[in-house]
Amino acid sequence: MSRAKRKISKTYLAALAIILVASLVASAVVGKKFGNDGTNGTPSPSNNASNTVAPGGDVPANSTDNTVPSNAANNTNNTNNSNNSKNTNTQNNTNNTNNTSNTTPVTPVTPSDPSGLTPKQMAAQMQDYTVDPKTGQAKEIKVVDDNWLLLVNRSHALAEDYAPDDLVTVKYAVSGVGKKGETDKLRKVAAEAFEKMVEAAAEQEIELKMRTGYRSYAYQRDRLYNQYVKNYGKEYADTISARPGQSEHQTGLALDVGGKTENFDLSRDFGTTKEGKWVAEHCHEYGFIIRYTDGTKDSPGETTGFISEPWHIRYIGVGPATEIHASGQLLEEYLGVLN
């Protein structure tokens, strides 16, 4: 081989050696910078934007839980704690751990309606309980609404023309009480609840029927209260019958229930029958309460003013009814309205 050719070969080999060394050096630098964990330099899922604060809120934008970071700014700046083992700054690891442990879970709220108010709070907004000290009466209730906790008693009366427009005929009602169609209705929500209660009782061989449901102002005045006053005198009449406008029956949410044992008649002993005991134990499950429980068979209650009526039940909704059943309170006590 000539001298010139040998010189070219040496030069070529030297160039190849330089290129090989440069490639090795570059590979080492890239491996050190991005790591050799099989990710090809791509950040692992634990290092992505899972702690990014959503616009206008503290909850991570792509988080599926509802925990609220106690320090949103720190969570944004720090990496996820699952990568702390790779973090060379021990102090940062400690801070990241603390940030996670201090997150505050959002307590789920199940409001009674979109406003978030409880039924009791809603009732207080829908009805003015204020009683005039001179007359002993609150403002007359004229508007029919969906306040199932509506308080009607001797100091909170309904207007003469108060009449619900959603009354429906109750399937399980005693026939022949009053004129046809006079007392066999309830407001739709109460009627449906009562029918479910009757059917549940029947599965346990307890037979119930509604004796009377909705009664108008005129019916209460002419067919009941005035007749009791005439027959027994005003003082006694006031312990066994509500005055017109002061009867819960006019709301369409109250009814008198009878059992087969007493031939579906109203009896002071209803509470001791198997039907009466079943009603006392289970009616709250369907949104009803036994309304007048502070009196006895012979003496009127101090709060309600009536002798015991174990047959008189009132629809107020399952939640409040269950609370009253557990506490043994009267509706007045539950609402905090004692005049």
The pLDDT tens digits of the residues spanning 33-90 come to 444 333 333 333 434 333 333 333 333 333 333 333 334 344 444 444 444 444 444 4
264 shares its domain with 133: yes
Residue 113 domain-assigned (yes or no) = no
Does position 210 have pLDDT exceeding 80, yes or no?
yes
Please, which pLDDT band fits residue 177 given cuts at 50, 70 and 90? confident
Q: How far apart are CA 113 and CA 130, in angstroms?
A: 25
Domain boundary among 45, 74, 105: 105
When mean pLDDT is compared across 28-37, 130-139, 322-331, the lowest value belongs to 28-37
Token digits of residue 102: 């201090």
178 shares its domain with 323: yes
Q: How far apart are CA 142 and CA 140, in angstroms?
A: 6
Residue 275's alpha-carbon distances to 10, 13, 261, 286, in angstroms, are 114, 109, 7, 16
Residue 17 lies in domain? 3-105
When mean pLDDT is compared across 5-14, 26-35, 145-154, the lowest value belongs to 26-35
Please report, for the domain that includes residue 191, its CATH number: 3.30.1380.10
70 shares its domain with 200: no
225 shares its domain with 203: yes
Helix, coil or strand: residue 305? coil
- pTM comes to 0.67
- Closest alpha carbon to 274 in 260, 285, 288: 260
For the segment 218-231, what is each residue's pLDDT rounded down to a tens digit? Answer: 999 999 999 999 99
304 shares its domain with 168: yes
Residue 51 domain-assigned (yes or no) = yes
Residue 110 domain-assigned (yes or no) = no
Residue 141 domain-assigned (yes or no) = yes
245 shares its domain with 175: yes
User: Considering its fold, how many domains does the chain have in total?
Assistant: 2
The predicted model gives 201-228 an average pLDDT of: 97
Does position 116 have pLDDT exceeding 90, yes or no?
no
**What separation, in Å, do the N-terminal and C-terminal C-alpha atoms of the chain show?**
126
Domain boundary among 46, 75, 105: 105
278 shares its domain with 183: yes
Residue 328 domain-assigned (yes or no) = yes
Residue 70 domain-assigned (yes or no) = yes
55 shares its domain with 204: no
Domain boundary among 73, 105, 137: 105
